[in-house]
Amino acid sequence: LKESKRAVNSLRDIVDDDDDDLERVSWSGEPVGSISWSIKETASSSTSSLEGRESSLQKSSSSTAFPKQVSPYFLSNLFKGRNKLPSFQSLSDALSDTGVKNYAPELRRPKAEYKDYSSDWSPKDTVRRMQRGKVCSLERFRSLQDKLMLLDEAVAGHDGNVITAVLIFLKRTLRREILFRELEVRQVALCHLIHFLKETGEQKLLLDLLRFLDRTEELALSQYREHLNIQDVEKRREFLKGCIGLPFSAEDTSHIQDHYTLLERQIIIEANDRHLETAGQSEIFRKYPRKASILNMPLVTTLFYSCFYHYTEAEGMFSSPTNLKKTFKIPDKQYVLTALAARAKLRAWDDVDALFTTKNWLGYTKKKAPIGFHRVVDILQRNSAPVQVLQEYVRLVEDVETRLNLATKYKCHDVVIETYRDLKDRIQLTAYKCKVERGSAEEEKINSILNNT
Amino acid sequence: REDRGRSPQRDFHILFVPRRSLLCEQWLKEQGVLGSFIHREQYSLDLIPFDGDLLSMESESAFKECYLESDQTSLYHAAKGLMTLQALYGTIPQIFGKGECARHVANMMIRMKREFPGSQNSIFPVFDTLLLLDRNVDLLTPLATQLTYEGLIDEIYGIQNTYVKLPPEKFAPKKQGEGGKDLPTEPKKLQLNSAEELYAEIRDKNFNAVGSVLSKKAKIISAAFEERHHAKTVGEIKQFVSQLPHMQAARSSLANHTSIAELIKDITTSEDFFDNLTVEQEFMSGIDTDKVNNYIEDCIAQKHPLIKILRLVCLQSVCNSGLKQKVLDYYKREILQTYGYEHILTLNNLEKAGLLKPQTSGRNNYPTIRKTLRLWMDDVNEQNPNDISYVYSGYAPLSVRLAQLLARPGWRSIEEVLKMLPGPHFEERQQLPTGLQKKRQHGENRVTLVFFLGGVTYAEIAALRFLSQMEDGGTEYVIATTKLINGTTWIKSLMEKLEPAPF
């Protein structure tokens, strides 16, 4: 890549072109001014033959004739069924440029006028007309049998637009129970109606339909979806509470429950904290004013917030991290990671220390973590932890190679030295001498190790 | 309504592209403005040519509609598009297909042909075979990160209708002698198609092979420009000058692609890209697909973009024929706790689509499919590939393998595996009027049109093009689809819209 870049830049000096800001390209894709473009321009044979049903198999070198200017006259030509299709510049020689009519079967029929609808079309013909986009009055289909025939014809015709149109008509003119009953045995039409109701937001009818069909889980989820439309937090909370009893799957039920509980807690925390902020008494809120409200935030974000602003609170308080952990059964891993991130951001290294320190039964403390210590180092480093703190944790990284990499990267000299000593690697240790300051304690350490072994 | 008040003389027309929708009209009616439009028409665009061998309907919602909502309208339009195609290029004598939607489209085509006998025409068939493939026969391929040049451009920057918008910094012309010119703030827009020689050469290559092509090209162009020193006679100079526009175009093309390649390289050499790719390849080669993956967990913990997470967990699920309930529940819980409970709706959609679901039969079919169809090739050669697996540096797209095996030796040889993939497989023949039966000349290639129902990626297109230019491959491919996709746009189309609708 470097070579080509160099070549390109050197060529810039030779070639004196100013106007390559705009790469003008013709509709067939060739840059205007290129050789291939000019060939095509000069050698083009006539392309705009609207007649000529046979496509010749000879190679034709005409350029495309896609209209750039859309004049109203041309548009009406299009509607009369004379489309121009752009040519293929294909690999295979057999495909060639054709300026030919659109042969989709229905367009070859004479297009009847809008005003012309007789009142006697059969269901099949009605559907045909609708497929062609013509206005059709469906009112004539009065009996249930007629209506169902119409629906079945529409479904057989496969055009979703027509099916939806017929369904709108049926929805308006049939009693609900009858409509539901008939649709139960017509899967395709049923799917279309459900989709239609979703799109138009006719929630009540949709829920009734799903209830009738006993599609309980879908019913539950559909109803749950509505919460997104409720902006007011209190109302949303109420709504979510109502969702809990719905027939979700077992797993989903617990998630919905959690969603409600979380929002409930967030409302309380938000009110409290806003109060604290305006009162101006709390140090943490003064030093780190909140940038956004905690409402509607995901659980982990809420936990981070809580570890940031309410770390030391007792478990009984809704805003304490331990309360959140217990209520939502947050696994240790996630909890430790989040707490670490929050305390590291606040540069509270003692808190970080305490996270990983456990007392065993003899009273000795040791450090352990549910996540690899390299992760801890990563997060600390991102928060610009001082080397002494970093060093502590680099030392705890289990995998030797990773430990060495990190120690070297972050200049934790003591750890590097100790590790090489443990590996009894004199060569590396000697080599590392040049990385430490002359006359420093580290240099002395290296020398003493080298001399004593 | 506002506009009408402002200028009552104005006529309002509305043009539905690609087709009018009753829902739209209904809504306009409810708003009370339907009558204000004098003309309501539709401008039907079924299949749009994107390149000499590529057609797309650009119907974003086709996959969602067909597989989530059981709305097969887009298939109806696909069938109509195919009828138009046949009217122009001749009836296609053989139709093969795999999948429910494929069956549906084929049925519609046959019915349409029956109902309009007048459309029988006297054109020599250009296509010998049509292969209809459901996207859900191969859910794996779009989830993996594409590794061809064009594929990577799409993954990173997104190619819209053959245009890509790129960060402008690397494209600012460095004029000598000028001080720091203001860097352009507008993204640089480039058109990408096969009319650009250089692009046609590198687009389908594995990205690792692009550098050497660019440097070779640089040498050629440099040498060409050097010719001006050798031009002595007026005739020679004239000739040189006449070549100049072409050379300038080539030089500018080289400059653009060198810059793009640099941009891409910054991403592909990043640690995160490497880690992500490693996990993808582990899954695709069948390693550890049945337990919670550490990298995915870490990414969730670090709150990487949700779509990235979804692509990875779906990939794991597909490579395991569904996840064990415990593993699935674990991922779901982590995702909901980290990104919000409302995503339950999206997860539900993904399950419905078959992308992220519990393992039902207790059996994992994927290893068998992988081995029989040789989907994972260890000895991939990125520079001079001999197999389609180069497009994912080891993984051969399942869909393209099916096409490859159909041509030679035929699907009979993989009956068992085909049964493991969803949907029926079938063959139909369409009668050609006598006299149009084409006799293949010796050495002439068959032409197969492969229609992907639900979306296709640039990597799959590259793989098919690779097959087309193989020495004695025997078949050339033209590709059609409902939409050009990549993993990100595809998953996005399945995500539940979380903002309240504007109306």
A35-74 pLDDT tens trace: 444 444 444 433 333 223 233 322 333 333 333 333 333 3
Strand order in the sheet with B188-191: B159-160, B163-166, B188-191
Q: How far apart are the first and last CA of chain A?
A: 50
Rounded Cα–Cα distance for residues B466 and B479 (Å):
13
In a domain, A366, yes or no: yes
- Cis amide leading into B18 (omega within 30): yes
- Cis amide leading into B409 (omega within 30): yes
Rounded Cα–Cα distance for residues B153 and B261 (Å):
9
Tokens of B74: 């887009």
Calculate how close chain A gets to B374, using CA atoms only, in Å: 28
In a domain, A259, yes or no: yes
The rounded radius of gyration (Å) of the Cα atoms in chain A is 37
Tell the residue number behind the tokens 């993204």, with chain if given: B187
In a domain, A61, yes or no: no
Q: Between residues 41 and 70 of chain B, which touch chain A (CB distance below 8 Å)?
A: 41-44, 46, 49, 51-53, 65, 69-70
User: Between chains, do A28 and B195 touch, taking CB under 8 Å as contact?
Assistant: yes
Asked whether residue A323 carries a pLDDT value surpassing 90, the answer given is yes
Asked whether residue A101 carries a pLDDT value surpassing 60, the answer given is no
Do both A316 and A231 map to the same domain?
Answer: yes
Tell the residue number behind the tokens 């083009």, with chain if given: A44
**Burial category of B304 from C-beta neighbours within 10 Å (exposed 0-12, middle 13-18, buried 19 and up):** middle
Do both A311 and A232 map to the same domain?
Answer: yes
**A chain contacts of residue B72, beta-carbon cutoff 8 Å:** 158, 160, 188
Of A309, A330, A351, the residue at which a domain comes to its end is A330
In a domain, A200, yes or no: yes
- Pick from B268, B161, B45, B192: nearest CA to B489: B161
**A chain contacts of residue B51, beta-carbon cutoff 8 Å:** 89
The answer to whether residues A192 and A163 touch, using CB atoms and an 8 Å cutoff, is yes
Residue B502 DSSP class: -
In sequence order, which residues have a C-beta less than 8 Å from that of residue B458 and are 6 or more positions away?
B146, B148, B150, B151, B154, B159, B203, B484, B486
Rounded Cα–Cα distance for residues A263 and A220 (Å):
19
- Contact B176/A at CB under 8 A: yes
Q: What is the pTM of this model?
A: 0.80
Rounded Cα–Cα distance for residues B115 and B112 (Å):
5
User: Between chains, do A298 and B26 touch, taking CB under 8 Å as contact?
Assistant: no
Please tell me which residue of chain A has the smallest CA distance to B119.
A105
Residue range A289-306, pLDDT digits in tens: 888 899 999 999 999 999
Kindly tell me the sign of the dihedral angle through the C-alpha atoms of B2, B3, B5, B11.
negative
Calculate how close chain A gets to B8, using CA atoms only, in Å: 20
* Residue-level pLDDT at B202: 94
Calculate how close chain B gets to A432, using CA atoms only, in Å: 26
- Contact A201/B at CB under 8 A: yes
Rounded Cα–Cα distance for residues A387 and A372 (Å):
19
Do both A143 and A205 map to the same domain?
Answer: yes
The answer to whether residues A147 and A141 touch, using CB atoms and an 8 Å cutoff, is yes
The answer to whether residues A353 and A339 touch, using CB atoms and an 8 Å cutoff, is no
Tell the residue number behind the tokens 């009979």, with chain if given: B412
Do both A281 and A300 map to the same domain?
Answer: yes
What is the SS3 assignment for B471? coil
Residue range A325-362, pLDDT digits in tens: 999 999 888 899 999 999 999 999 888 888 888 777 67
- Mean pLDDT along residues A130-159: 79
Average pLDDT of chain A?
74
For residue B495, the one-letter residue type is M
User: Can you give A346-378 as a three-state secondary structure string?
Assistant: CCCHHHHHHHHEEECCCCCEEECCCCCHHHHHH
Nearest Cβ partner of A1 from B87, B214, B219?
Answer: B214
User: Between chains, do B251 and A188 touch, taking CB under 8 Å as contact?
Assistant: no
Do both A271 and A356 map to the same domain?
Answer: no
- Contact A42/B at CB under 8 A: no
In a domain, A256, yes or no: yes
- Contact A79/B at CB under 8 A: yes
The answer to whether residues A262 and A318 touch, using CB atoms and an 8 Å cutoff, is no
Do both A174 and A157 map to the same domain?
Answer: yes
Cα A350 from chain centroid (whole Å): 38
User: Between chains, do A221 and B345 touch, taking CB under 8 Å as contact?
Assistant: yes
Of A177, A194, A214, the residue at which a domain comes to its end is A214
Q: Between residues 9 and 38 of chain A, which touch chain B (CB distance below 8 Å)?
A: 9-15, 17, 20-21, 23, 25, 28-31, 33-36, 38
In sequence order, which residues have a C-beta less than 8 Å from that of residue B204 and are 6 or more positions away?
B148, B149, B150, B391, B461, B462, B465, B466
| Region for B499 from its dihedrals, namely left if φ exceeds 0, alpha if ψ lies in -120 to 50, beta otherwise | beta
Rounded Cα–Cα distance for residues A70 and B307 (Å):
40
DSSP per-residue letters across B55-99: EE---TTHHHHHHTS---HHHHHHHHHHHHHHHHH---SEEEEES
Please tell me which residue of chain A has the smallest CA distance to B193.
A29
**Burial category of A34 from C-beta neighbours within 10 Å (exposed 0-12, middle 13-18, buried 19 and up):** buried
Calculate how close chain A gets to B80, using CA atoms only, in Å: 7
Predicted confidence band at A366 (pLDDT cuts at 50, 70, 90)?
A: confident
**B chain contacts of residue A5, beta-carbon cutoff 8 Å:** 258, 262
User: Between chains, do A1 and B73 touch, taking CB under 8 Å as contact?
Assistant: no
**A chain contacts of residue B66, beta-carbon cutoff 8 Å:** none
Do both A284 and A345 map to the same domain?
Answer: no
Rounded Cα–Cα distance for residues B217 and B39 (Å):
53
Do both A245 and A315 map to the same domain?
Answer: yes
- Contact A104/B at CB under 8 A: yes
User: Between chains, do A34 and B265 touch, taking CB under 8 Å as contact?
Assistant: no
Rounded Cα–Cα distance for residues B206 and B458 (Å):
12
User: Between chains, do B173 and A21 touch, taking CB under 8 Å as contact?
Assistant: yes
Nearest Cβ partner of B21 from A85, A161, A227?
Answer: A161
* Residue-level pLDDT at B69: 85
Rounded Cα–Cα distance for residues A72 and B82 (Å):
29
**A chain contacts of residue B496, beta-carbon cutoff 8 Å:** 225
The answer to whether residues B186 and B497 touch, using CB atoms and an 8 Å cutoff, is no
- Contact A5/B at CB under 8 A: yes
What is the SS3 assignment for A392? helix
Q: How far apart are the first and last CA of chain B?
A: 16
Residue B228 sits at the vertex; the CA angle it makes with B224 and B232, to the nearest 5 degrees, is 135
Interface pTM, i.e. ipTM: 0.81
* Residue-level pLDDT at B139: 96
| Region for A173 from its dihedrals, namely left if φ exceeds 0, alpha if ψ lies in -120 to 50, beta otherwise | alpha
**Burial category of B233 from C-beta neighbours within 10 Å (exposed 0-12, middle 13-18, buried 19 and up):** exposed
Give the residue numbers spanning the domain of A429.
Answer: 412-452
Q: Between residues 342 and 361 of chain A, which touch chain B (CB distance below 8 Å)?
A: none
User: Between chains, do B341 and A262 touch, taking CB under 8 Å as contact?
Assistant: yes
Rounded Cα–Cα distance for residues A5 and B218 (Å):
8
**B chain contacts of residue A224, beta-carbon cutoff 8 Å:** 344-345
In sequence order, which residues have a C-beta less than 8 Å from that of residue B327 and are 6 or more positions away?
B290, B291, B292
Rounded Cα–Cα distance for residues A310 and A343 (Å):
11
User: Between chains, do A34 and B72 touch, taking CB under 8 Å as contact?
Assistant: no
In a domain, A92, yes or no: no
Do both A290 and A339 map to the same domain?
Answer: no
- Mean pLDDT along residues A190-207: 85
Alpha carbons within 13 angstroms on the beta-carbon side of residue B97 total: 22
Number of CB pairs < 8 Å for A and B? 240
- Mean pLDDT along residues A131-140: 73
* Residue-level pLDDT at B175: 55
Rounded Cα–Cα distance for residues B225 and B251 (Å):
10
Nearest Cβ partner of A105 from B21, B83, B176?
Answer: B83
Of residues B305 and A402, more confidently modeled: B305
In a domain, A375, yes or no: yes
Of residues B40 and A389, more confidently modeled: A389
- Contact A68/B at CB under 8 A: no
Rounded Cα–Cα distance for residues A140 and A450 (Å):
103
In a domain, A77, yes or no: no
Mutate which: B56, B197, B212, B248, vs A, most A CBs within 10 A? B248
* Domains of chain B in sequence order: 12-42 (no CATH), 46-141+397-502 (3.40.50.1910), 149-169+188-269 (3.90.830.10), 272-363 (1.25.40.850)
Of A281, A300, A330, the residue at which a domain comes to its end is A330
Do both A238 and A316 map to the same domain?
Answer: yes
As for how many domains chain A has, the answer is: 4
What phi and psi, each to the nearest 5 degrees, are found at residue B400?
A: -70, -35
The answer to whether residues B147 and B393 touch, using CB atoms and an 8 Å cutoff, is yes
Digit-by-digit pLDDT tens for chain B (503 residues) are 555 555 556 677 777 666 666 667 777 777 777 777 777 676 667 888 898 899 999 988 899 989 988 888 889 899 999 998 998 888 899 999 999 999 999 999 998 888 876 656 677 888 999 999 999 999 999 999 999 999 999 999 999 989 999 988 877 765 544 444 556 678 888 888 888 989 999 999 999 999 999 999 999 988 888 877 777 788 888 888 888 888 888 989 999 999 999 999 999 999 999 999 999 999 999 999 999 999 999 899 889 999 999 999 999 999 999 999 999 999 999 999 999 999 999 999 999 999 999 998 878 999 999 999 999 999 899 999 999 999 999 999 999 999 999 998 999 999 999 999 999 999 999 888 776 666 666 667 889 999 999 999 999 999 999 999 998 878 999 999 999 999 999 999 999 887 665 54
Do both A325 and A287 map to the same domain?
Answer: yes
Rounded Cα–Cα distance for residues A157 and A127 (Å):
7
